[in-house]
């Protein structure tokens, strides 16, 4: 009886570890969302007299999240990208550093266009609304390092 209880306890422990491992990505995305929400809250602060004070937006106002997505057998790994404008103002002419970007799946150039200088232009330079998001997917043998390069903030 003691061996059966030990086996059941070990099995339950294994299930808990497996569930924790499977939900790791979900927890990471929840934490990213929590951080992004806090960043949005930090953008607008109230002055000592109750007046709204808008902070200037910067590259820190752009959040880029990527996650691995399922891919058909024999194809490069897939990645889903979400680019958030955490600023209270629209952002246009958003350019990302993407030095090794060479996706196996074409991306709509109206979403992101690879430029010859190792950068990528988002939305053909059109504005992303305050607190707006742009999403796309790509397939490449490795996760591309996408980072803020430059933008025009409409504040």
* Average pLDDT, integer, range 130-148: 95
Tell me the helix, strand and coil percentages in the chain, rounded to 5. 30, 35, 35
Which of the two residues, 104 and 37, has the higher pLDDT score?
104
pLDDT tens for 5-14 read: 455 455 445 3
pLDDT of 70 above 60: yes
* Average pLDDT, integer, range 28-50: 45
Q: Please state, rounded to an integer, the average pLDDT across all residues of the chain.
A: 77
Look at the chain and count its residues: 155
Cα–Cα distance between 86 and 63 in angstroms, integer?
7
* Average pLDDT, integer, range 53-81: 88
Give the pLDDT confidence score for residue 155 in this predicted structure: 81
Please report, for residues 122, 126, 142, 145, the alpha-carbon distance to residue 112 in angstroms, rounded to integers and kept in the order given.
4, 11, 18, 15
Give the pLDDT confidence score for residue 71 in this predicted structure: 87
Domain limits of the chain?
3-153
User: In 10 A of CB 148, how many CB atoms?
Assistant: 17
Give the pLDDT confidence score for residue 152 in this predicted structure: 95
pTM exceeds 0.85, yes or no: no
């Amino acid at each position: 009886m003691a061996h059966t209880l030990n086996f059941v306890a070990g099995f339950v422990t294994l299930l808990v570890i497996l569930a924790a491992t499977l939900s790791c990505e979900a927890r990471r995305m929840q934490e990213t969302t929590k951080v992004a929400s806090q960043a949005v809250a930090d953008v607008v602060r109230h002055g000592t007299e109750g007046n709204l004070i808008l902070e200037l937006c910067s590259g820190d106002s752009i959040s880029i999240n990527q996650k691995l997505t399922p891919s058909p057998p024999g194809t490069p790994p897939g990645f889903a990208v979400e680019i958030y404008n955490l600023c209270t103002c629209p952002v246009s002419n958003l350019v990302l550093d993407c030095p090794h970007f060479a996706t196996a799946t074409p991306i709509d150039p109206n979403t992101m266009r690879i430029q010859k200088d190792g950068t990528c232009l988002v939305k053909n330079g059109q504005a992303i609304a305050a607190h707006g998001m742009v999403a796309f997917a790509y397939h490449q043998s490795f996760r591309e390092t996408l980072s803020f390069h430059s933008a025009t903030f409409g504040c």
